[in-house]
Structure 1
Amino acid sequence: MSDFDNRDEEEKKETGLEENKGKEPSDKKEEKTDKPEKEYEDVCFICRRPESKAGKMYHLPNNICVCDDCMHRTMDAVSQYDYQGMLNNPEMMNMLNNMNKDGKYPNISFVNLADLQGNDGIPNKQKIKKKKAKEKETEPVFNIHDIPAPHKIKASLDEYVIGQEQAKKIISVAVYNHYKRVVTNTMDDIEIEKSNILMIGPTGSGKTYLVKTLARLLDVPLAIADATSLTEAGYIGDDIESVVSKLLAAADNDVEKAERGIIFIDEIDKIAKKKNTTSRDVSGESVQQGMLKLLEGSEVEVPVGASSKNAMVPLATVNTRNILFICGGAFPDLEGIIKQRLTKQTSMGFNGELKDKYDKDPDILSKVTVEDLRNFGMIPEFLGRLPIICTLQGLTKEMLVRILKEPRNAILKQYQKLLALDEVDLQFEEEALAAIADKATKKDTGARALRAIIEDFMLDIMYEIPKDDNIGRVTITKNYIEGTGGPAIQIRGAGYAIPDKQAEAAE
């Protein structure tokens, strides 16, 4: 046996002794079966490939793993050195003879791999979870009878989202059909195509909130990406595959779980073709072309635990065939394109239409066609992979009032719970809610304006109430919202308002 083999045997014995030092013999079986790191695949320290791609791993001291390819390359590189010639070299022999008392070579420092490592040098967020056992792989992820029916999905959405009845119905049916497709895979050898969704609606109409509620209902991983940061590969910004990388992170690096998740790409209208430009459109049409295979279904290599590919990050292969893509955007100026198409006819004669016929139509977006989206700047190949077009209405004053008080986690209920922790009852008059909705309508930012308005007038109340333990109830009035009066204050247990102190409480 060579010296090299002897050293390996000694290192194995030493590391085995160090690992088992201070442990009882009865704990050895538990160590082999209940190690938390075994939940994730080993990653090669040199090439950063996971165990599922690199194959067998060599386990070195300090929890370092090296794949078979890297180990052989290292040994081949080492074997090229002429050790006999080095020993016959007088300068080398002189250096060996001049070794200091500590046994170190002069002017030579060796890298200690233990100094580079924490545990194994690779955090769990950059590791891939191991696949389940083979007998479990054949089990279906979903049972077709466990998938909620479209009317149940819509009923659950109704608890959180006000209005948008047609949009909720379209999304419920599309999601139900999609997960039936995931469960059955094929049906009588007829492959069911994906039903990706394109959501169009003004800002604050509930596009993102619908998707978040949907993912929570189905208990599937959800990744929300922003299309404004996506660029063509090779340019500054996020690669197109980064949206899949976010989904993998949301699924705790479980590839199988990520392959049945939902990806919501917001601000999709920002990647429309740039008009009248002579430079390369790296964040517009190029991104649309790069997303074609992603939407249709293909195997992509994505970095684990990072947003960009590099030599120090392991890669995982994710199949996007069963991932539901939902794209959403406000599409500003799309109403003008729709009106232009609808008023192409002359405004004279018996069949003439007035040019301003659709100027005040609140449902103008519901008349959108693929032709309108093409004129906006979306390429036809991209639109063909989003077969379901879902439009959301702008929020009216009545819908804003309902949003304030009806959803399960309504804004008013949140503030009532906050003041209930101080043992104070918070109430709102109906006229006050209408005044809040009027202010929100003028801001023209949808439901997002409601929170800003309530935060403004609740600031003084939240600041003053903890000062006085006698306050039992606060009623928000219309005059307080409009700035002409104050809230109605009731003393704890008295049951009547004190109008003289209304102005003092508002200050």
Structure 2
Amino acid sequence: MKVLTPREIVSELDKYIIGQDQAKRSVAIALRNRWRRQQVPRDLRDEIAPKNIIMIGPTGVGKTEIARRLARLAESPFLKVEATKFTEVGYVGRDVESIVRDLAELAVNMAKKQEQEKVKSKARELAEERLLDMLLPKRKEEVREEEGEKEKILEVVRVDSAEKSSTREKLRRMLRDGKLDKRYVELEVQDTQLPMVEIFSSGGMEEMEFNIKEVFGNLFPAKKKKRRVKVPEALEILFQEESQRLIDMDKVIEQAVRMTEQNGIIFLDELDKVAGSESGYGPDVSREGVQRDLLPIVEGSTVITKYGMIKTDHILFIAAGAFNVSKPSDLLPELQGRFPIRVELDSLSEEDFYRILTEPRNALITQYRALLETEGIELHFEDDAIREIAYMANRVNEQMENIGARRLATIMEKLLDEISFEAPDMEEDLVTITRETVSEKLADILEDENLSRYIL
């Protein structure tokens, strides 16, 4: 992986996210600091703690999108979780240590893929040989009745072997040229289904599920079932089997644990929902308990996973929340201290909505154009129409709940509903969306505020 500078990270984020420059700068510096820490002397490396971040801003302004894009840039184990899914230990629900276990699972999958890339060519060769064995089965040797005929039999076998070799090479060429793609072969594959066992337990018992699977896996012998598949699919199944055999799982797990501890990133969304005063009863009773359970993980502790002990001292935590009811100061003082970087994201303006519709690589207008192209329809938006959509999104956000850029998706879906439905039967191959089209489709809904609440 190419190590990106903070400026390059911000530049990559700019391709998908409009505005929020300060938040982009903060995550870019945090990501670069992971690399910087690896370059310092070992005795000092362990002392450098990650600078965790809290992103504060209303919904739909880009907090989650920044985290999602950062994960792709980092090529590190990355997990997005919502704080509201967790409960204090002792209550029914998931405990916060399962976050680290899930992160370790992701790291193992990443490490396994990296190892698969290394053995790819060897596994392909072995899979090809096994497939050729199926397409060209070996002949059973004739029962030798007389000792004196040994030399004669050996000579016949030698000739057969030469013929078989040339036939095998012909088959190999046909296989590589795709001439055998429509042929079927019968494969024996392992049946991975295990007895169905459901476990109802309190927090902290997620690992039991894995242990039960391992126990049943050892109790029952591996069952094989026959499948009749086409040659390309058979080649892929055999490739996966050979890859598994060639990969050293001990090495994979060792690498995954190291990746989790040194490069892991956890994005903790909806943190504001577990902040606030304690009610003492009812559904919010474990809010502060979740914070207390989060504290040791963020500070640095050791979590038991099925892959061994994992230290959380150098995992980077990026938290996010609207904090419109509670404030960051409502969090436990110790937890506040573990998130030294606070970034406030701006609310989106009408101009921001216009840019979101037109500039990013995954802009909504680009997506709808691509979808309707599959029906042979070219969708054209006039500039005035795009500005009208941005104006309406901004207006609805001001009148009702501000849900940020998510409002654009609702408006676009309502605007193009009829075209999307009629597209397969339409004769014209060019559809132009004008400002009048937008006003005509959405004006009535905007005028009736009660209707707007349900539709937009």
Shorter-chain TM-score range: 0.5 to 0.7
5+ residue gaps in structure 2?
110-255, 444-456
2:436 paired residue number: 479
Aligned partner letter, 1:373 = P
- Structure 1 residue 237 and structure 2 residue 237: aligned? no
Q: Provide the secondary structure at the position in 1 that maps to 2:80.
A: strand
Q: Provide the secondary structure at the position in 1 that maps to 2:416.
A: helix
Q: How far apart, CA to CA, are the structure 2 residues paired with 1:164 and 1:261? A: 24
1:272 paired residue number: 275
Query: Is the 1:231–1:287 contact (alpha carbons within 8 Å) kept by the matching residues of 2?
Result: yes
Query: Is the 2:55–2:63 contact (alpha carbons within 8 Å) kept by the matching residues of 1?
Result: yes
Q: Provide the secondary structure at the position in 1 that maps to 2:429.
A: strand
1:163 paired residue number: 19
Match of 2:106 among 228, 250, 261: 250
- Change in Cα spacing, 1:206 to 1:239, as seen in structure 2 (3 Å) is same
Task: Give, in angstroms, the shift of residue 482 of structure 1.
Answer: 1.6
Q: How far apart, CA to CA, are the structure 2 residues paired with 1:265 and 1:174? A: 15
CA displacement, residues 462-499 of structure 1 (integer Å, 9 cap, x when unaligned): 1212113x41211111121122699xxxxxxxxxxxxx
- Change in Cα spacing, 1:324 to 1:480, as seen in structure 2 (3 Å) is same
5+ residue gaps in structure 1?
1-141, 303-313, 335-371, 487-507
Where does 1:377-388 land on structure 2 (aligned, <5 Å)?
Answer: 377-388=330-341
Q: How far apart, CA to CA, are the structure 2 residues paired with 1:408 and 1:388? A: 29
- Change in Cα spacing, 1:451 to 1:185, as seen in structure 2 (3 Å) is farther
- Structure 1 residue 454 and structure 2 residue 412: aligned? yes
Count of residues paired in the alignment:
291
Aligned partner letter, 1:467 = D
CA displacement, residues 104-141 of structure 1 (integer Å, 9 cap, x when unaligned): xxxxxxxxxxxxxxxxxxxxxxxxxxxxxxxxxxxxxx
Tell which structure's C-alpha radius of gyration is larger.
1
Task: Give, in angstroms, the shift of residue 438 of structure 1.
Answer: 2.2
Q: How far apart, CA to CA, are the structure 2 residues paired with 1:388 and 1:450? A: 30
Query: Is the 1:301–1:317 contact (alpha carbons within 8 Å) kept by the matching residues of 2?
Result: yes
2:265 paired residue number: 262
1:14 paired residue number: none
Moved more, 400-409 or 165-174: 165-174
CA displacement, residues 373-427 of structure 1 (integer Å, 9 cap, x when unaligned): 32xx211100100111111100100001100110011111111111222222111
More helix by share: 2
- Change in Cα spacing, 1:185 to 1:326, as seen in structure 2 (3 Å) is farther
Match of 1:330 among 322, 325, 332: 322
Aligned partner letter, 2:370 = K
2:143 paired residue number: none
Q: Provide the secondary structure at the position in 2 that maps to 1:247.
A: helix
Match of 2:49 among 164, 181, 193: 193
Task: Give, in angstroms, the shift of residue 187 of structure 1.
Answer: 6.6
- Change in Cα spacing, 1:485 to 1:321, as seen in structure 2 (3 Å) is closer
Where does 1:404-419 land on structure 2 (aligned, <5 Å)?
Answer: 404-419=357-372
Q: How far apart, CA to CA, are the structure 1 residues paired with 2:17 and 2:75? A: 18
- Structure 1 residue 297 and structure 2 residue 250: aligned? no
Query: Is the 2:278–2:288 contact (alpha carbons within 8 Å) kept by the matching residues of 1?
Result: no
Query: Is the 1:274–1:281 contact (alpha carbons within 8 Å) kept by the matching residues of 2?
Result: no
Where does 1:398-409 land on structure 2 (aligned, <5 Å)?
Answer: 398-409=351-362
CA displacement, residues 194-243 of structure 1 (integer Å, 9 cap, x when unaligned): 11111101000110100110110121121111111211112111101121
- Structure 1 residue 433 and structure 2 residue 386: aligned? yes
1:172 paired residue number: 28
Aligned partner letter, 2:341 = I
Query: Is the 1:273–1:281 contact (alpha carbons within 8 Å) kept by the matching residues of 2?
Result: no
- Change in Cα spacing, 1:230 to 1:399, as seen in structure 2 (3 Å) is same
Moved more, 176-185 or 219-228: 176-185
Task: Give, in angstroms, the shift of residue 317 of structure 1.
Answer: 2.1
Query: Is the 2:278–2:287 contact (alpha carbons within 8 Å) kept by the matching residues of 1?
Result: no
Query: Is the 1:465–1:471 contact (alpha carbons within 8 Å) kept by the matching residues of 2?
Result: no
CA displacement, residues 279-331 of structure 1 (integer Å, 9 cap, x when unaligned): 896522111121112112221114xxxxxxxxxxx464222122111110011
Q: Provide the secondary structure at the position in 1 that maps to 2:108.
A: coil
TM-score when normalising by structure 1: 0.54
Q: How far apart, CA to CA, are the structure 2 residues paired with 1:220 and 1:194? A: 15
Q: How far apart, CA to CA, are the structure 2 residues paired with 1:396 and 1:437? A: 9
- Structure 1 residue 317 and structure 2 residue 320: aligned? no
Task: Give, in angstroms, the shift of residue 185 of structure 1.
Answer: 6.7
Q: Provide the secondary structure at the position in 2 that maps to 1:390.
A: strand
Query: Is the 1:196–1:324 contact (alpha carbons within 8 Å) kept by the matching residues of 2?
Result: yes
Q: How far apart, CA to CA, are the structure 1 residues paired with 2:96 and 2:67? A: 20
CA displacement, residues 75-119 of structure 1 (integer Å, 9 cap, x when unaligned): xxxxxxxxxxxxxxxxxxxxxxxxxxxxxxxxxxxxxxxxxxxxx
CA displacement, residues 420-466 of structure 1 (integer Å, 9 cap, x when unaligned): 22222111112211221122221321011111111111111012121
Aligned partner letter, 1:169 = R
Alignment root-mean-square deviation, CA:
2.4
Aligned partner letter, 1:471 = E
Aligned partner letter, 2:83 = A
Query: Is the 1:194–1:296 contact (alpha carbons within 8 Å) kept by the matching residues of 2?
Result: no
Q: How far apart, CA to CA, are the structure 2 residues paired with 1:279 and 1:266? A: 23
Query: Is the 2:272–2:321 contact (alpha carbons within 8 Å) kept by the matching residues of 1?
Result: yes
Q: Provide the secondary structure at the position in 2 that maps to 1:482.
A: helix
Query: Is the 1:432–1:478 contact (alpha carbons within 8 Å) kept by the matching residues of 2?
Result: yes
Task: Give, in angstroms, the shift of residue 249 of structure 1.
Answer: 2.7
- Change in Cα spacing, 1:216 to 1:173, as seen in structure 2 (3 Å) is same
Match of 2:347 among 384, 394, 400: 394
Aligned partner letter, 1:422 = E
Task: Give, in angstroms, the shift of residue 258 of structure 1.
Answer: 2.6
TM-score when normalising by structure 2: 0.60
1:421 paired residue number: 374
Q: How far apart, CA to CA, are the structure 2 residues paired with 1:271 and 1:399? A: 30
Q: Provide the secondary structure at the position in 1 that maps to 2:47.
A: coil
CA displacement, residues 12-37 of structure 1 (integer Å, 9 cap, x when unaligned): xxxxxxxxxxxxxxxxxxxxxxxxxx
Aligned partner letter, 1:478 = R
- Structure 1 residue 466 and structure 2 residue 424: aligned? yes
Q: Provide the secondary structure at the position in 2 that maps to 1:174.
A: helix
Moved more, 150-159 or 275-284: 275-284
Where does 1:10-409 land on structure 2 (aligned, <5 Å)?
Answer: 146-182=2-38, 184=40, 186=42, 191-252=47-108, 254-259=256-261, 260-275=263-278, 277=280, 282-302=285-305, 314=306, 316-333=308-325, 373-374=328-329, 377-409=330-362
Q: Provide the secondary structure at the position in 2 that maps to 1:326.
A: strand
Query: Is the 1:200–1:389 contact (alpha carbons within 8 Å) kept by the matching residues of 2?
Result: yes
- Where relative contact order (Cα < 8 A, 6+ residues apart) is larger, the structure is 2
Q: How far apart, CA to CA, are the structure 2 residues paired with 1:187 and 1:438? A: 56
